[in-house]
Amino acid sequence: MKILECVPNISEGRDPVKIASIAEEVRKHPGVKLLDVSSDKDHNRSVFTFLGEPPEVQEAALSFAMKAIELIDMQSHRGGHPRMGAVDVVPFVPVQGVEMKEAVEVARRFGKELGKRGVYVYFYEEAATSPGRRELPHIRKGEYEGLREKLMGPEWRPDEGPHAFNPKSGAMVVGARFPLVAYNVNLKTKDFALAKEIARKVRFKDGGFPNVRAMGVNLEDKGLVQVSMNLTNCQVTGIPAVYEFIKEEAGKRRVEVEESEVIGLIPLTVLEGIVRHYVKCHRFSIRQVIEQRILESE
C-alpha cells in the first residue's frame, strides 16, 4: 500500500464558496481522500490535506491548483501570512510505502504540468533544483509584492513555466518533504530562559539534533514554559530522542516535564518508532496494527 499526502496552502481564507468549490475538485477524484480543510480569515489562507496513491494524488492536486488559480486574484489579496501566489505552496509528503524519490518525481511532474499551463513554479526542499532553493522562507522573500522585480534577475528564473510576471496568480512553490511532526514538551517551571536554552541545545541550527527546529515558548496562562519543536524527519530524529534529551536537561536544573503534546496529525510510523524504542520491541511493525491491516485489505 502506498500513501502520498499533499498539503497545499492557498491564498484564500475568507470566501467559503470559493474554498468549497476548490475542495470539490479534490473530492471528484474517488481514489483520493480529503482529510482536512483549515481556513484562517486573518491570514486569508487555507490549508488542505488530502492523500491516496501517488498518481491519483498528482491528478487531484492538478485539478485543485487549476481551480484555485481560476478563482483567486492576487492583485486584491491581503493577509497576515507571508505568501507569493494564489496557490502558494504545494508539498508532497510520503506517509507510507512511498520513497522520497517518488514524492520528488510527483512534485516535478506536477510542477511541469502547471508550467505548461502558464503558471510558474519554484521547486523547494527535497525537490529543489539547487541548494539555494531548498528553503521556503528564502524563496518567498519579498513575497508577492516583490515578485515582479525578483523575476527580472537571472537568479530567480522559475524552474517551470514562463519567465514573466503573472499578476493574477503570482508564483507557486512546489516540493516534497518528510512528514512534519509538531511536538512540544512542557516544563514545570516559569523559567522562560531555561526553555530558550534547551531549545537552543536541541535544535540542529545550533549544533543539536538533525531535522529538529525548536524555540522556547512562555505559557504564562499555565505557569509553564515550553520547548516547541518541529521534527522534520522522524526517521532521523524521533520523539524519544528529543523527549529524553529535554527531560535530562531540565532534570539537571531539578525541573520536571509536565507533559508533552503532539499537534495535528502524524503517520503511524512515528508510533512504530516510539514502541521500538521504549519497550525494546525492535521488530514491531505497523503491519501488526489491526487498523493498518484494514486499510491494506481495501
Q: Using CB under 8 A, list all residues that contact a copy of itself.
A: 3, 5, 33-36, 51, 95-96, 179, 239-240, 243, 257-262, 264-268, 271, 274-275, 278-284, 286, 288-295, 297-298
Residue 290 phi, psi dihedral angles, 5° rounding: -55, -45
Residue 281: CB atoms within 10 Å: 13
The CA-CA-CA angle for residues 282, 286, 290, to 5°, reads: 130
- Taking the C-alpha atoms of residue 133 and residue 9, their distance in angstroms, rounded to an integer, is 19
Of 5 and 113, nearer to a copy of itself (C-beta) is 5
Least distance from a copy of itself to the Cβ atom of residue 246, Å: 10
- Known catalytic membership, residue 81: yes
Least distance from a copy of itself to the Cβ atom of residue 3, Å: 7
Half-sphere exposure (CA, 13 Å, Cβ side) for 99?
A: 3
Of 162 and 264, nearer to a copy of itself (C-beta) is 264
Least distance from a copy of itself to the Cβ atom of residue 266, Å: 6
Least distance from a copy of itself to the Cβ atom of residue 213, Å: 19
Residue 293's SS3 state is helix
| Spacing of C-alpha 70 from chain mean position | 24
- Catalytic pick among 43, 77, 81, 277: 81
Of 135 and 259, nearer to a copy of itself (C-beta) is 259
Of 118 and 264, nearer to a copy of itself (C-beta) is 264
Least distance from a copy of itself to the Cβ atom of residue 181, Å: 10
Residue 253 phi, psi dihedral angles, 5° rounding: -100, 15
- Grid coordinates 505552496 are at which residue? 89
Instruction: Supply 216's cell numbers.
Output: 522556547
Of 28 and 293, nearer to a copy of itself (C-beta) is 293
- Taking the C-alpha atoms of residue 204 and residue 210, their distance in angstroms, rounded to an integer, is 5
Contacts of 26 (CB under 8 A, 6+ apart): 32, 34, 48, 50, 60, 63, 64
- Which sign does the torsion angle of CA 103, 229, 81, 155 carry? negative
- Grid coordinates 511532474 are at which residue? 109
Of 60 and 74, nearer to a copy of itself (C-beta) is 60
Least distance from a copy of itself to the Cβ atom of residue 250, Å: 12
Residue 31: CB atoms within 10 Å: 12
Q: Are strands 171-176 and 87-96 parallel, antiparallel or unpaired?
A: parallel
- Taking the C-alpha atoms of residue 288 and residue 290, their distance in angstroms, rounded to an integer, is 6
- Cite the active site residues: 81
